[in-house]
Amino acid sequence: MNRRRVLALMGKECRELARDPLTIGLAILMPLVMLFLFGYAVTLDVNNIRLGVLDEDRSPASRELVDRFTSSGYFEQSHAFDTTRQAEQALQRGQVRVVLVVPRRFQRALVRGEAAPVQLLVDGAFASSAALALGYAEAIVASYPAAPRQRIETQVRVWYNPGLRSANFVIPGLFAVILMAFPPLLTALAIVREKESGTIEQIYASPVTSAEFVLAKLLPYAGVALLEMALLVGVGIVWFDVPFAGSPALLAAASGVYVLTTVGIGLLVSTITRTQLSAMLVALIVSLMPSFLFSGFLFPVFTMPLMLQLYSTLVPASYFVEISRDVVLKDAGLVALAPNLAWLALYTAVVFVFAAWRLRQKVAA
Amino acid sequence: MGRAGALAHALACAAVTPTARLVAQGLGRRFGPRWAVRDVSLSLAPGETLGVVGADGAGKTTLLQMFAAILDPSEGSCTVLGGDSRRDSKRIAAGLGYMTQGFTLYDRLTIEENLRLAATLRGVSDADYGPRRAQLLAMAGLARFTERLSGKLSGGMRKKLSLCTNLIHAPQLLILDEPGLGVDPLSRRELWTMLAQYRETGVATIVATSYMDEAERCDRVLLLRDGQPLALDTPSGLRTQAAGRVFELRGSDLAQRLPALRALPQVRGLQVLPDRARFQSRDPAAAPVPGSQPAVPVLEDVFVLHDTAIEPEAPAAPPVTLSTPGPGLVTRDVSVVFGGFRAVNRVSLSIQPGELLALLGPNGAGKTTLIRGLCGLVPFSEGQAQVAGFSLPGQIAAVRQRIGYMSQRFSLYLDLTAQENLDFFASAYGLRGARAREAIAQATAQLGLTLESGRLVAALSGAERQRLALACAILHQPAVLFLDEPTSGVDPLARYRFWWLIRRLAQGGMSILVTTHYLDEAAYCDRIGLMHQGALIGWGTLDALRAQTGQSADASVETVFVQAIAQATAKTGAAA
């Protein structure tokens, strides 16, 4: 590689970028839009579940049980029913998500120390929130001081995200997904644009090698991606109140490795496509979609079938989702990150070599 | 080197010499099943200029890409600057300048930055860069604009800067793909002056072109047709091939004699010009056509000579006289402004019924925008126009009923057959049933078009598509017909025939406006308009324009155009 040529090409790339306010604007704005959209929309917390009550007992004990539901903060009582039929209809129409049925003689059974069954009807159409609601409801029922039965007290302590706040979990994951979404999109256009305008033929017909050309594209766009990362982290901390437990320098260094991978993928896409439109589509398909589904950003990878788990190892975001959460939430050190970082570095090298090889410096061989 | 010297030199180089800058042997390139270029063998000596001449799609760019070692040949071999084009492409690149047809500059870099980038990429030392930069920018007349973004340059300036970026490393071989395309005649001249100056350094040059005058400036010319080399010789050598075969017929009774002339078996390649007919004799030994005079052959005649294709001489029906000949077209100071850019600048012209007017000018001069304005496709920012008796912009709907428009890329549906295209356009003009069938029959007969059923337009040749597009544009017998670059990408024979068809339409009473960037084609038209940077800098008959610009009666269209640009520039300069 000739350093002078690489520097000259990088200088050209930076100037073009700096004189293209539209691209810069998009590069800054799009990640922020996505951060805000997903920062607010993707919340796994379930609050204010609409609760209907069919209280057939109408006793102080039954009223207290209902109170415990509503005062937990997870449920709000929106309906009271007189008949089972009413309750069924409300559940079917989606007016309530959970129905608590307290049968006749509930209080009497309690007083006598007999088993006092209550019924919970849960709308299972929203499977994940139904499971959560069920969990909350069971916990509330279990904690109801019924018979003085012997119980094992569990003391639960949640580490790293004690409030179990979704944002703390979602935002660091979003860093990984967003850096996989937009930098490749920008760079996918970078070489294709030169193919479309024809300037690339000048490069082919010059002593510039394909490795030099790809490297000179890689570094400036990686710089833009790092800027995006800094912006995302800043907004994440200031706006979304995500606590930053670890070392900013370590996260910056790890991001450096990661953006080389993502930008490299964009360049690879750029070398195999011919038009800007197809480059954008391919970039979306290979980068954005898998990183949503298979990175562990929302859906844990370890619960997936084995084939998909193997597939997820091909998704670079899966490594950085872990790195990002480890540093931001767990204050992980370099040693803990090393395996994931090593995979990313290897990934980058493979992508770079492949992109340089694909850009064969010929119109057609 | 004088003409005779150049000739002797070129002939001496025909044999493979050890110092040859480029040697091609049996060179061919296939894309899928189709051969883009085949059987090219030649050798190029230092200091020699080779012209590669052919219509669009003849394979010029493919051949040049193989010469520049950025496209591997499918067969044969190419040795460039001593290296094999397949294996040593990067070594070849160091000594090569290759100016592609499209954009070779980075629009967001300034002139200086583009030049500096090209120099650095090609390893020019700082010591060499300074003086070469100064020399090249001075030659190109760009020294004053070094800080301007290249995206803001005119077509001519861009081409000159491109040439500079390809000369900054003093290449041994310079390959230029259609350098004259999209460049005004003045800049084209300057470009060739630069090349001529640079040739003295011993650089070998290969130029692809579809302009015959550019070909005339080369030491040797390779004629390409459908990827096949037709001939390789000096320009004068080529013209000699056509000597004694080209004739002209003049006279006031020309129009009456044409049908008989066309019917003669030995006549081919008939060109019908306003004042004369020009043709080739199929058999040099045959008795001459009575009244015809031998004419001086030009390079294009050699193409016709080598064109072995059977001419599509389907008899065309006599011209149809328009039932209601329109009052033609008049514009007064019309302008089209996009943002701050005046694409069309205060153009005033008129076309009489039955008149054929050619708008000449390079790509980007505003010809297409003017036509689109006259069709009501873009609103005029200023000025008024009367088209076929209706005024724009007030009566757009009425105007559209009375005009025909054939756009630059022949807007036909490629996945429909010719018949289906005609049916569609007929219905678009509101023609139905028997009236539609009648209109289609008339238009196709008039243009000698035979409709093969089941054949998609995608499978038709450029010339067939051209006539089909014209048929679609005249179905409703428009009073005014606009043809935007109808002749690009079409071989000479088909072009001659197309001009004759257009002329016959004009005889039927249509007012016809044609744009072209081939200046020679002005000869087919009654009057011509010269467009430069959005303004109409001259219009009238060629003779009138010659007189206006103070040129002799045999001055070429290009000379007149260059002089008109100079006059226009002086006028705006004086006004400013």
Whether residue A113 is predicted with pLDDT greater than 80 in this model: the reply is: no
Per-residue pLDDT tens over the stretch B351-405: 998 899 999 988 778 888 999 999 888 899 989 898 888 888 788 888 888 899 9
- Same domain for A174 and A29, yes or no, is yes
What is the identity of the amino acid at B392? L
CA dist list (Å): B516 to A180, B356, B364, B407, B524: 49, 13, 12, 12, 11
CA dist list (Å): B460 to B116, B123, B386, B412, B490: 46, 48, 37, 11, 12
- Same domain for A193 and A248, yes or no, is yes
CA dist list (Å): B111 to A14, B96, B144, B363: 16, 21, 10, 22
- Same domain for A78 and A200, yes or no, is no
For B:34-73, CB contacts with A below 8 A are: 65, 68-72
Taking contacts as CB-CB distances below 8 angstroms, the residues of chain B near A208 are: 121
For B106, the closest of A16, A208, A365 (CB atoms) is A16
Mean pLDDT, chain B, integer: 86
In terms of CA atoms, which chain B residue is nearest residue A21? B108
Taking contacts as CB-CB distances below 8 angstroms, the residues of chain A near B100 are: 198, 201-202
Is A153 contained in some domain? no
Taking contacts as CB-CB distances below 8 angstroms, the residues of chain A near B123 are: 2, 4-5, 207
- Same domain for A130 and A233, yes or no, is no
Return the higher-pLDDT residue of B112 and B489.
B112
Looking at the complex, does the CB of residue B100 fall below 8 Å from at least one CB of chain A? yes
**Predicted pLDDT of residue A162:** 66
Whether residue B311 is predicted with pLDDT greater than 60 in this model: the reply is: no
- Same domain for A136 and A8, yes or no, is no
- Same domain for A230 and A358, yes or no, is yes
Is A119 contained in some domain? yes
Is A17 contained in some domain? yes
Burial class (CB in 10 A: 0-12, 13-18, 19+), A94: exposed
* B260: number of Cβ within 10 Å: 10
Taking contacts as CB-CB distances below 8 angstroms, the residues of chain A near B71 are: 362-364
- Same domain for A230 and A360, yes or no, is yes
In terms of CA atoms, which chain B residue is nearest residue A365? B72
Distance to chain B for A349, nearest Cα, Å: 24
- Same domain for A129 and A262, yes or no, is no
Q: Where are the domains of chain B?
A: 4-238, 244-296
Q: How many domains does chain A have?
A: 2
**Predicted pLDDT of residue B325:** 60
Is A158 contained in some domain? no
Per-residue pLDDT tens over the stretch B194-246: 888 888 888 999 999 888 888 999 999 999 988 899 899 999 999 998 888 89
Residue range A283-288: average pLDDT?
Answer: 86
Distance to chain B for A14, nearest Cα, Å: 10
Dihedral class, residue A269 (left if φ above 0, else alpha if ψ from -120 to 50, else beta) = alpha
- Look at A12-16, A45-49, A242-246, B422-426 and tell me which has the smallest mean pLDDT: A45-49
- Same domain for A233 and A349, yes or no, is yes
**Predicted pLDDT of residue B10:** 42
Strand positions, DSSP E, B414-563: 480-484, 511-516, 527-532, 535-540
Looking at the complex, does the CB of residue A207 fall below 8 Å from at least one CB of chain B? yes
Residue numbers of the domain that contains A272: 3-42+165-364
Mean pLDDT, chain A, integer: 86
Q: What token pair was written down for B480?
A: 């005014």
For B93, the closest of A8, A207, A363 (CB atoms) is A207
Looking at the complex, does the CB of residue A21 fall below 8 Å from at least one CB of chain B? no
Instruction: Please choose, from the candidates A232, A263, A227, A253, the residue with its C-alpha nearest in 3D space to the C-alpha of residue A337.
Output: A253
Looking at the complex, does the CB of residue A238 fall below 8 Å from at least one CB of chain B? no
- Same domain for A216 and A114, yes or no, is no
Per-residue buried b or exposed e for A55-89, using 16+ beta carbons within 10 Å of the residue's own CB: bbbebebbeebbeebeeeebbeeebebeeeeebee
- Same domain for A203 and A270, yes or no, is yes
Q: Concatenate the DSSP letters of all residues of B368-390 into one string.
A: HHHHHHHTTSS--SEEEEEETTE
Is A135 contained in some domain? yes
The whole-angstrom separation of Cα A315 and Cα A320 is 10
CA dist list (Å): B414 to A19, B59, B432, B458, B476: 40, 22, 23, 5, 22
Band (pLDDT 50/70/90 cuts) for residue A218 is: very high
Q: Say whether A16 and B104 touch across the interface (CB within 8 A).
A: no
Per-residue pLDDT tens over the stretch B487-539: 876 778 888 888 888 988 888 889 999 998 888 888 889 999 999 888 999 88
- Same domain for A136 and A199, yes or no, is no
* Residue B531 near residue B561 (C-beta atoms within 8 A): no
Of the residues A91, A111, A143, the one at which a domain ends: A143
pTM for the full predicted model: 0.79
Q: Say whether A20 and B108 touch across the interface (CB within 8 A).
A: yes
Interface test with B, best of A4, A22, A201 (most B CBs within 10 A): A201
Is A156 contained in some domain? no
Q: Number of residue pairs across A and B with CB atoms under 8 Å?
A: 84
Looking at the complex, does the CB of residue A274 fall below 8 Å from at least one CB of chain B? no
**Predicted pLDDT of residue B3:** 44
Looking at the complex, does the CB of residue A16 fall below 8 Å from at least one CB of chain B? yes
Per-residue buried b or exposed e for A290-318, using 16+ beta carbons within 10 Å of the residue's own CB: bbbbbbbbbeebeebeeeeeebbeebbbb
